[in-house]
Amino acid sequence: MLAKAPINMRVLPEQKALISKAAEILSMDRTTFILNVACREAENVLLDQRLFLLNQNDYNAFETALMATPKPNALLKKLLSEPSPWQA
């Protein structure tokens, strides 16, 4: 089993009461509720960075741009030399 790392936070009494009530309604403890909600929101934030919808014309233009050979430039060279976010 992997070791668990603590996450500590300070909240207003009203926030604690709100979270506690919501957790109680779902038959969860506060920690489980907070972790579930935080992880779901984190996944949504990350998905928003990777998922986008295009109409057919915009998709074709996007695909054409992806298939084109990029012109060499310093920023692209720097970007390609850095580790990917999932490698960090």
Mean pLDDT score, 21-27:
97
The predicted pLDDT at position 11 comes to 96
Angle in degrees, 0-180, between the axes of helices 30-48 and 13-25, rounded to the nearest 10: 90
The predicted pLDDT at position 56 comes to 96
Indicate the pLDDT class of residue 42, thresholds 50, 70 and 90.
Answer: very high
- CA distance to 26, 77, 80, 86, 88, per residue, from 83 (Å): 40, 12, 8, 8, 6
Instruction: Look at residue 80 and tell me if it is in a domain.
Output: no
Q: Which domain holds residue 29?
A: 13-69
Instruction: Look at residue 1 and tell me if it is in a domain.
Output: no
Distance CA 31, CA 7 (A): 10
Total number of domains in the chain: 1
Instruction: Look at residue 62 and tell me if it is in a domain.
Output: yes
88 or 7, greater pLDDT: 7
Indicate the pLDDT class of residue 30, thresholds 50, 70 and 90.
Answer: very high
pTM: 0.56
